[in-house]
């Protein structure tokens, strides 16, 4: 605590990201992709003319927005890009959720959302998950100041169908509904086709997980032109150039290679489903997941102890120290070799 801090900064509870270890470990703690980005990305990095860095990037990131628009079958004025989807989300909270009425969020979801609420002084209410650990769509209040959840949800992995999302949107028309689709490419169903019919729907997504580019920092949102303009108003009051020239070109290259994308994501899906079965054989309770992670607990072993024992053996997973999640570990899906090593180690630890 410093006397130099603004009063509001003294009240903040910042988000704590998963650890990035300095030593070499099997890293299954931040849902990164175990495979390298598309080969075209490496070519961009190798061939990028350093002289271009003299100039500021295009403040509108037009080329990348057009590539995303083509990919998702929308217009470029329905696409917003940011420095990671965390930045896009921060702008969305600022642009849409500073309302009289409280924001509605599920009790368990991406833990950054309450952090943004505190940053912007947004009141929020939380809704308990359903019996199958699902986001309780029917309990989300049409009178809210806004609604946000991840689909597939983090760190659970449960995913709602587009039809279920559409039922929500038929009912909730007076506030913005943000659906964070960071994990949708691992088996969820995107709600993007609904943006043309529901002007209050904003979908956010990221290049960090399914495109293997967490280190590049690229996220995006898709919605109606009026929502995108709202995001641009915030962005242009904060930083004109969130996307650097290299990230811009590398992002386009990542989108171009559809075959590589399909190969990587189907490999991860297959590895996830194998790992799920193997962990169940060890006695773990494994929640169904449409994401690139599994949330698991063992009836006879404490999650925090298993987390530490794995860490000692060079395997990093995630343990959340909250009442709702303390019995669980979240395990990101790595390569088949990494997962075989994990399963073998857990088999020794739970024997």
Q: Which helix (H) or strand (E) holds 336?
A: helix 336-349
- Residue identified by tokens 């990587």 is 264
219 binds ligand PLP (CB under 6 A): yes
Q: Which of 208, 224, 278, 345 binds ligand PLP (CB under 6 A)?
A: 208
Of 78-86, 128-136, 139-147, 279-287, the window that binds ligand PLP (rule: CB under 6 A) is 78-86
Q: For the chain, how many residues are written?
A: 351
29 binds ligand PLP (CB under 6 A): no
Cα–Cα distance for residue pair 63/61, rounded to 1 Å: 6
Cβ-based neighbour number of residue 132 at 10 Å: 9
Least separation in angstroms between residue 31's CB and ligand PLP is 6
Binding mask 307-336 for ligand PLP (x = CB under 6 A): ------------------------------
104 binds ligand PLP (CB under 6 A): no
61 binds ligand PLP (CB under 6 A): no
Of 80-88, 240-248, 274-282, 298-306, the window that binds ligand PLP (rule: CB under 6 A) is 80-88
85 binds ligand PLP (CB under 6 A): yes
Least separation in angstroms between residue 208's CB and ligand PLP is 3
| Start-to-end C-alpha separation, the chain | 46
For ligand PLP, the closer of residues 85 and 159 by Cβ is 85
Q: How far is CA 139 from CA 75, 126, 160, in A?
A: 33, 10, 14
32 binds ligand PLP (CB under 6 A): no
Of 60-68, 79-87, 119-127, 141-149, the window that binds ligand PLP (rule: CB under 6 A) is 79-87
Which candidate, 280, 289, 288, places its Cα nearest to that of 346? 280
251 binds ligand PLP (CB under 6 A): no
Long-range (24+ apart) CB contacts under 8 A made by 279-282 are: 279/343, 279/346, 282/343, 282/346, 282/347, 282/350
């Amino acid at each position: 605590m410093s006397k130099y801090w603004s009063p509001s900064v003294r009240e903040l509870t910042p988000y704590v990201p998963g650890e990035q270890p300095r030593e070499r470990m099997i890293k299954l703690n931040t849902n990164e992709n175990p495979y390298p980005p598309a080969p075209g990305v490496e070519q961009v990095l190798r061939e990028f003319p350093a002289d271009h860095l003299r100039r500021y990037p295009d403040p509108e990131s037009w080329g990348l927005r057009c590539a995303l628009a083509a990919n998702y079958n929308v217009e470029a004025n329905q696409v917003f890009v940011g420095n990671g989807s965390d930045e896009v989300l921060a702008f969305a909270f600022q642009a849409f959720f500073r309302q009289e009425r409280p924001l509605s969020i599920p009790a368990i979801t991406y833990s950054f959302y309450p952090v943004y609420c505190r940053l912007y002084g947004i009141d929020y209410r939380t809704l308990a998950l359903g019996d199958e650990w699902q986001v309780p769509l029917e309990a989300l209040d049409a009178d809210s100041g806004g609604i946000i959840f991840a689909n597939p949800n983090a760190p659970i992995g449960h995913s709602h169908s587009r039809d279920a999302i559409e039922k929500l949107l038929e009912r909730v028309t007076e506030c913005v509904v943000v659906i964070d689709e960071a994990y949708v490419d691992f088996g969820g169903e995107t709600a993007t086709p609904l943006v043309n019919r529901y002007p209050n729907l904003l979908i956010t997504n990221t290049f960090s997980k399914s495109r293997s580019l967490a280190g590049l920092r690229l996220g995006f949102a898709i919605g109606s032109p009026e929502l995108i303009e709202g995001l641009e108003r915030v962005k242009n009051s904060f930083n004109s150039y969130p996307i650097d020239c290299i990230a811009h070109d590398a992002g386009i290259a990542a989108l171009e290679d559809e075959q590589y994308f399909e190969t990587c994501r189907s490999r991860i899906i297959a590895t996830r489903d194998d790992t799920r079965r193997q962990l169940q054989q060890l006695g773990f309770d494994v929640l169904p997941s449409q994401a690139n992670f599994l949330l698991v607990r063992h009836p006879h072993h404490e999650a925090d102890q298993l987390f530490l024992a794995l860490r000692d053996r060079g395997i990093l997973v995630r343990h959340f120290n909250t009442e709702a999640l303390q019995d669980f570990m979240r395990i990101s899906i790595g390569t088949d070799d990494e997962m075989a090593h994990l399963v073998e180690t857990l088999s020794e630890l739970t024997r």
